[in-house]
Amino acid sequence: MKKIFLNWVLVIFWMAVIYYFSHQPNLGSGLEPLWDLIFRKIAHVAEYFVLAYLLFRAFQSHGFKPSKALIFTAILAIMYAGFDEWHQSFISMREGKILDVLVDSVGIFIFVILNFNIYGKNLSNSQPL
């Protein structure tokens, strides 16, 4: 029971980190515009890769088979990406973009694909990365 609770606390903590950064009106990196764009998109991919990992662990702690956990992970993480962009649409100097949901989804799908490639299509007895 403690493991289940801890896994969900980590998920909620990471969602709060994403929310916090999304709530900042201007998160410029100080880099040249092209490098700033590249840096921000890589950050989107990375933060949602981490969210997918944490969600997967949380679902598996409930006894979900990895294949089912991956499906629920992808659905919930993409929904959160959509919520995050919607949230940004209310923040000064920010805007919500459907393209950013797609960029976030790249991180999610990299996690899903890595799990399929590491453990094969039969994910019934595997452990997460």
Cβ count within 10 A of residue 92 = 7
Confidence of residue 44 (pLDDT cuts 50, 70, 90): very high
- Two structure tokens written together for 51: 């969210």
The Cβ of residue 114 has, within 10 Å, a number of other Cβ atoms equal to 15
Query: Which tops the pLDDT comparison, 76 or 35?
Result: 76
Given pLDDT bands bounded at 50, 70 and 90, which one contains residue 126? Answer: low
Whether pLDDT at 125 is above 60: no
Q: What is the pTM of this model?
A: 0.87
Instruction: Give the contacts of 59 (CB within 8 A, at least 6 positions apart).
Output: 68, 69, 72, 73
pLDDT band of 53, cuts 50, 70, 90: very high
